[in-house]
Chain A
Amino acid sequence: MARITLQGLRHSYLANPQSEQDWALKRLDIEWEDGGAYALLGPSGCGKTSLLNIISGLVRPTEGQVLFDGIDLTDVPTDRRHIAQVFQFPVVYDTMSVYDNLAFPLRNRGVPAPEVDATVRAIARMLDLEDMLRARAAGLTADGKQKISLGRGLVRADVNAIMFDEPLTVIDPHLKWQLRSKLKELHQRIARTMIYVTHDQTEALTFADKVVVMHEGTVVQIGTPIELFERPRHTFVGHFIGSPGMNVLPCTVDGGKAILDGQRVTVQNPPTTALDGKRIELGVRPEFIGFASDGLPVTVVKVSDAGRYRIVETRHGTDRINLLVDPDAVVPSDGARLRFDPAYARLYADGWLAE
């Protein structure tokens, strides 16, 4: 178990990085607390796998240090960092039984047989694998195999952190729920540091206590799921988290209010400094918009039934504005107007939350 610190980290896959674009990871300082449940969230190519590989030691960063409990391990190889990894595709020994798969890391380390047996059974119980300990791993379904990969990470007492790289990609949606809640439950029971890499916001937000959102090699926000949802620091976070994501609408500012095509919109963060020359946008999530008798006039373009709510797509000029309404709510066919919740409507300057 360890607190992991990334200090002044930068990484480039080029020999002589020159411009800003040459860096796959731009300067990063992150502290992962011991026993925390983290998610590393971002689209393909944002640098999240590079970051994971730097922590595990598969990649040496161009600049900066990796510390475990304050000790510099930047040049220490992977096998001496004691990190368990679970990959996108389950890695199991097909010819072995489930029991032997789970016992493998312990036997490898010369753990006495009675202790191996007790640990394997305890982990199997946690993962609901008890009934299949004698079965050959080859015969299991994808989620069964992924549980074994996970179990192999959990049996070792010497593990500093468990890292998951898109572990649910090959799992059917209805089983994803089960496996994800299982992970969360395990974390609450054993309190190991877990870092979960994913592009899927639902997985990130439901698993993690803290989510690190990455975009083009930069960390744009670190926060609890609630903070990321309610107060995105960057329009990218607003867009990437939430489905559909936050509406981002070009606007101007006057007297502390957003001006959208002549309509004045009260915002939660009236700017205290001049925003001259910056790209100004109003950000508001579909959850915080409702139909009203007065407000921004829009045309309803499409209504999609999502079962527990409906997604209404509207247009104001060329701007697209989505809002969510209850399944039984009335959607006006014409003369629709929108009201933005002033507690959750915010101004952004050049993409960043205006100060």
Chain B
Amino acid sequence: MSLELRNVTKRVGAQTHIYDTSVRLAEGGFNILLGTTLAGKTTLMQLMAGLEQPTSGAVWFAGMDVTRVAVQRRNVAMVYQQFINYPNFTVFENIASPLRVARVPAAEITNRVHRMAELLRLTPLLQRRPTELSGGQQQRTALARALVRDADLVLLDEPLANLDFKLREELRDELPKLFAERHCTIVFATSDPMEALLLGGHTAALHQGRITQFGPTADVYRRPADLVTAQVFSNPPINTAPVTKEAGRVVLSDTVRWSALGHQQRLPDGAYTVGIRPHHVSPIANGHAAAAVEGKVLVAEISGSESTIHFSHGPLNWVSQSHGVHPSQVGDCVRFHLDVGQCLFFDADGRLVA
């Protein structure tokens, strides 16, 4: 059962919220909508759910045009960033509520609620009210309610954003397991590239109301179709610089240049933008072909497991991220190793060319 948007647009007054979008989501596994605040993630989800009508285009589900079908008749479940539960109901009644609406027999309700509570580790809390729960427990309750009714389409709108770091890590780890045996389409919105990577599945990168790329998550991350996608899918931000290619060499600055490698060799001479992720700019050599970049340290963040060094090289402000502890002082001159084989080349229109 797959969801498909066909030339969907959404305008509100003079403003376009979603530009012409066509995408066919994957069944099973996560479909991640990755983008910053206001990129259009929530609007896109509301269009998928039927909470909003597209200005033009159609929404298809399981081979049927459902554009005009009311949300109540679509068997959709949604979980929001804010934990939404019925404050006067116990956890049990909160989870049971969609089944009661659907007039499921009482014995089966008890069964299904208990099974869901067990999965989400809510069993000892079933008789409590939401106000007596921690944020993580409240969000688990909201998730249990969304999952208990075997919805065909499950929409999760940044469900982990309001949770403590460790709880987020824990639930992020559990979520794919919860959905492992279900045959529904799952959409998960996030602004966190690491969350997208760890959830896997497919990712749609979203920027200013457009899906810039949709594909298997690891592919979108490693082979972004354009510079915007690379920027959406990089945290810390991807380093960029204008370069020229001439006579088999790539020139980034007076002191940084290298012989074109692999795909880079076939590029016609001219001007490009390179993108290089922070972990491919390291204070230590790793044996890969590298160009040396002298940088002046602006900020050094040493977390124990990783060192993140912000530095300037001429007019460029770049970030280096590496394993382990590499102390440096503000103002120090440090030699970084740019892993040239990992450089992404974009043309004047921002499209990936090598």
Interface residues of A (CB under 8 A from B): 43-45, 142, 172-174, 177, 180-181, 184-185, 188, 199-202, 205-207, 225-230, 239-245, 285, 287, 304-309, 311
18 other A-B residue contacts (CB within 8 Å) besides A174-B36, A181-B310, A201-B303:
A174-B237, A177-B237, A184-B301, A199-B164, A200-B165, A201-B165, A206-B303, A225-B302, A225-B304, A226-B304, A230-B304, A240-B166, A243-B169, A304-B197, A305-B218, A306-B197, A307-B197, A309-B323
A240 to B170 alpha-carbon distance, docked (Å): 11
Interface pair B303/A177, CB less than 8 Å apart = no
Interface pair A185/B218, CB less than 8 Å apart = no
Q: Which of chain B's residues have a CB closer than 8 A to the CB of A180?
A: 301
Q: B330 an interface residue at 8 Å Cβ cutoff?
A: yes
A306 to B299 alpha-carbon distance, docked (Å): 24
Interface residues of B (CB under 8 A from A): 36-37, 134-135, 164-167, 169, 191-194, 197-198, 200, 217-218, 221, 234-237, 277, 279, 298-299, 301-305, 308, 310, 319, 321, 323, 325, 330
Shortest A321–chain B CB gap in Å is 14
Interface pair A205/B304, CB less than 8 Å apart = yes
A243 to B168 alpha-carbon distance, docked (Å): 11
A119 to B297 alpha-carbon distance, docked (Å): 27
Interface pair A229/B194, CB less than 8 Å apart = no
Shortest B137–chain A CB gap in Å is 11
A80 to B321 alpha-carbon distance, docked (Å): 43
The dominant DSSP class at the B interface is mixed
Q: Which of chain A's residues have a CB closer than 8 A to the CB of B197?
A: 304-307
Interface pair B299/A311, CB less than 8 Å apart = no
Select the residue from A45, A173, A188, A304 with max chain B CB neighbours within 10 A.
A173
A226 to B330 alpha-carbon distance, docked (Å): 18
Interface pair A172/B166, CB less than 8 Å apart = no
Interface pair A307/B165, CB less than 8 Å apart = no
Q: Which of chain B's residues have a CB closer than 8 A to the CB of A306?
A: 194, 197-198
Q: Which of chain A's residues have a CB closer than 8 A to the CB of B325?
A: 226
Total A-B residue contacts, Cβ distance less than 8 Å: 101
Q: Which of chain B's residues have a CB closer than 8 A to the CB of A184?
A: 299, 301
Q: Which of chain B's residues have a CB closer than 8 A to the CB of A304?
A: 197-198, 200
Q: Which of chain A's residues have a CB closer than 8 A to the CB of B308?
A: 206
Given contacts A45-B134, A174-B237, A177-B237, contact A226 B165 (CB under 8 A): no
A12 to B235 alpha-carbon distance, docked (Å): 41
Q: Which of chain B's residues have a CB closer than 8 A to the CB of A239?
A: 166
21 contacts between A and B (CB under 8 A): A44-B135, A45-B134, A173-B191, A185-B299, A199-B166, A200-B165, A205-B303, A205-B304, A206-B303, A225-B303, A229-B305, A243-B165, A245-B166, A287-B305, A305-B200, A305-B217, A305-B218, A306-B194, A307-B197, A309-B323, A311-B198
Q: Which of chain A's residues have a CB closer than 8 A to the CB of B301?
A: 180-181, 184, 205-207
Q: Which residue of A lies closest to B199 (CB)?
A: A304
Given contacts A200-B165, A304-B200, A311-B198, contact A44 B305 (CB under 8 A): no
A306 to B197 alpha-carbon distance, docked (Å): 6
Select the residue from B221, B279, B301, B303 with max chain A CB neighbours within 10 A.
B303
